[in-house]
């Protein structure tokens, strides 16, 4: 890492950018980003100021579906500048957050801009690029937060962040060593055995091993202690259900591998978490400074569910159930699982993260995954989801209050 950077009040250290949230909200609202792209390209330059425009162009390019170009622009921009201020705060800034990020696609780092929208918190982001010296000076700040994900592409960056943040002079949220425990095969071992929680063992296996399993099903128990068919399989590094499949028998492995080119996979046993009515309910909760908050609830007639493929937009009854879930979360879900949620937060050791979960037929909390970088937003149309914006403002306020509390600062009024 070299010498530790010093903290400085010099406001010339960073470059301004509009930020990911600005353009994501435009895209979510159906606004074409082409005009914004053309306008920014006209002012681009090979210097620190141009790097701020470049980071915005990188976000726009990825939102328009061209990730390779977006990442190439990001790499060029980080050659000129590693420190950026995002336009999140309103009025006079009262607290400054330093986000410590990895050079990733727009779905990689924790999108804290959404959480800070409308607050009086100023966001400065420092990008850590492995093997590249850090700036000599970093803007002074009230609190820091690691926003890089547990992803193979940024393990080296997380290692450098860990070295950087040892004995850091300001409070630090989401320490990198705890983020490194979020991968599926590590998370199940970290949470396994906690009362009130159910999480199946997950193992990393190769294509060759899966081929052997297809001929010798007994190998499953040898490799996966609680392993049995049906088996859940997914390629390592996949997202949004890509390649996720339930294999009923070993005979289905051949057909699955014929469709998937990846070399390595996660496997775990399938747990039927359907409710009495035959529907599946999957919850996303937030843990903020150890307290649980409702984020969303997805309802579908299939086990492979995430919010975008659930029948929420077109089903008023499902939305009504989600609204009730949010309104009664503290009294019902959070109370029902209070001991398990406390143990979960303590064991994860993260100040902010999301948890995707369900309830087993025995009433335990079934953990699918924990993630420090999932997007939490208030962009859903208010005419269809009138209950979401108030809940998200509650979440945003809790996040800002945590920043003030952990920084040892007094928040004059709720954000």
pLDDT of residue 361: 94
Does pLDDT of 411 surpass 80?
Answer: no
Q: What is the mean pLDDT of residues 235-259?
A: 88
Chain segment 35-56, per-residue pLDDT in tens: 999 999 998 988 888 999 999 9
The residues near 219 (Cβ < 8 Å, ≥ 6 apart) are 209, 212, 213
Yes or no: say if 266 and 368 are a contact pair by the CB < 8 Å rule.
no
Strand 280-288 vs strand 291-300: parallel, antiparallel, or unpaired? antiparallel
pLDDT of residue 131: 87
Instruction: Give all strands (DSSP E) within 69-199, no chain letters.
Output: 83-86, 95-102, 121-128, 137-139, 143-146, 172-173, 197-198
Half-sphere exposure of 364 (CA within 13 A, CB side): 16
pLDDT of residue 90: 65
Top pLDDT among 307 and 323 is at 323
Q: List alpha helices for 196-330, DSSP H.
A: 207-215, 219-223, 253-259, 316-327
pLDDT of residue 266: 93
The residues near 402 (Cβ < 8 Å, ≥ 6 apart) are 173, 288, 289, 351, 352
Does pLDDT of 150 surpass 50?
Answer: yes
Question: Lowest mean pLDDT: which of 192-196, 221-225, 357-361, 410-414?
Answer: 410-414
What residue spans define the domains of the chain? 6-174, 201-269, 280-407
Q: List alpha helices for 328-387, DSSP H.
A: 333-336, 338-348
Question: Lowest mean pLDDT: which of 12-21, 143-152, 188-197, 217-226?
Answer: 217-226
Cα(226)–Cα(234) distance, rounded to whole angstroms? 18
Q: What is the mean pLDDT of residues 128-154?
A: 93
Q: Is it true that 201-269 and 280-407 share their CATH fold?
A: no
Chain segment 46-102, per-residue pLDDT in tens: 888 899 999 999 999 999 999 999 999 999 999 999 999 987 666 666 899 999 999
Q: Which top CATH class is 280-407?
A: alpha beta
Please spell the DSSP secondary structure of 162-192, one letter per residue. HHHHTT-SS-EES-HHHHTT-SHHHHHHHHT
Rounded to two decimals, the pTM is: 0.92
**What kind of architecture, by CATH, is found in domain 201-269?**
2-Layer Sandwich (3.30)
Q: Residues of 388-414 as b/e, b for ≥16 C-beta within 10 angstroms? A: beebbeebbbbbbbbbbebbeeebeee
């Amino acid at each position: 890492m070299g010498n530790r950077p010093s903290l400085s009040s010099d406001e010339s250290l960073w470059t301004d950018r509009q930020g990911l949230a600005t353009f994501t909200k435009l895209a979510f609202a159906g606004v074409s980003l082409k005009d914004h792209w053309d306008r920014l390209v006209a002012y681009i330059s090979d210097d620190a100021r141009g790097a701020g425009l470049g980071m915005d162009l990188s976000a726009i390019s990825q939102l328009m579906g061209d990730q390779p170009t977006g990442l190439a622009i990001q790499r060029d921009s980080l050659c000129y500048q590693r420190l950026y201020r995002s336009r999140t705060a309103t009025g006079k800034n009262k607290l400054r957050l330093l986000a410590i990020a990895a050079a990733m696609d727009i779905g990689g780092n924790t999108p804290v801009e959404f959480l800070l929208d409308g607050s009086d918190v100023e966001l400065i982001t420092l990008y850590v690029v492995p093997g590249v010296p850090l700036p000599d000076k970093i803007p002074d700040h009230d609190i820091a937060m690691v926003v890089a994900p547990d992803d193979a592409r940024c393990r080296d960056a997380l290692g450098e962040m860990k070295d950087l943040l040892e004995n850091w002079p300001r409070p630090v949220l989401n320490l990198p060593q705890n983020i490194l425990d979020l991968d599926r095969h590590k998370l199940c071992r970290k949470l396994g055995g906690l009362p009130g929680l159910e999480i199946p063992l997950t193992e990393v296996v190769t294509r060759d091993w899966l081929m052997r399993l297809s001929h010798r099903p007994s190998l499953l128990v040898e490799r996966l202690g609680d392993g049995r068919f049906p088996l859940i399989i997914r390629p390592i590094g996949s997202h949004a259900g890509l390649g996720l499949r339930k294999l009923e028998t070993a005979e289905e492995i051949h057909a699955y591998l014929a469709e998937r080119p990846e070399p390595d996979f996660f496997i775990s046993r399938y747990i039927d978490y359907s409710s009495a009515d035959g529907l599946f309910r999957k919850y996303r909760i937030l843990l903020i400074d150890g307290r649980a908050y409702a984020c969303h609830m997805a309802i579908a007639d299939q086990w492979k569910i995430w919010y975008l493929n659930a029948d929420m937009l077109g089903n008023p009854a499902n939305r009504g159930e989600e609204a009730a879930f949010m309104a009664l979360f503290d009294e019902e879900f959070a109370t029902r699982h209070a001991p398990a949620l406390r143990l979960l937060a303590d064991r994860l050791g993260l100040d902010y993260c999301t948890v995707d979960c369900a309830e087993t037929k025995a009433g335990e909390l079934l953990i699918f995954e924990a993630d420090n970088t999932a997007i939490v937003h208030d962009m859903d149309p208010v005419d269809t989801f009138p209950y979401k914006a108030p809940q998200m403002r509650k979440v945003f306020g809790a996040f800002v209050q945590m920043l003030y509390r952990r920084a040892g600062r007094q928040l004059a009024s709720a954000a």
